[in-house]
Structure 1
């Protein structure tokens, strides 16, 4: 018997929030490494803005809903 069946805990929503938080954190870290030129040379800096943007889009709701959970 799963622990979610006894009470009405929204397990899927909590897992989605944790997944968004994790993916957003990873994308923000990779984006910051791209900005500093640690991963790739600075001449390919045009790839950093989409990675950072997606990181922010995933991190903000993920962190908020993880905090609420």
Structure 2
């Protein structure tokens, strides 16, 4: 019975957690955009590749957070 109650409580996110998720989503989106822009400026192939990898990693983090948020609606 206690497990059932915990599942119902954790199924919905409170306002504080929603704000934290919103901030983190904004951060990941910004970092993706920045690293994509940096990659466009790079002339060195190795540095360009590192920036593209960082952009992709932040995009992945954004998508994971977004999916987590959607799973708790």
TM-score (norm 1): 0.57
Higher helix share: 2
Structure having the higher Rg: 2
Q: How many angstroms does 1:63 deviate by?
A: 2.4
Structure 2 gaps, min length 5: 1-11
Aligned equivalent of 1:41: 42
Structure 1 gaps, min length 5: 1-7
Count residues with an aligned counterpart: 58
TM-score (norm 2): 0.55
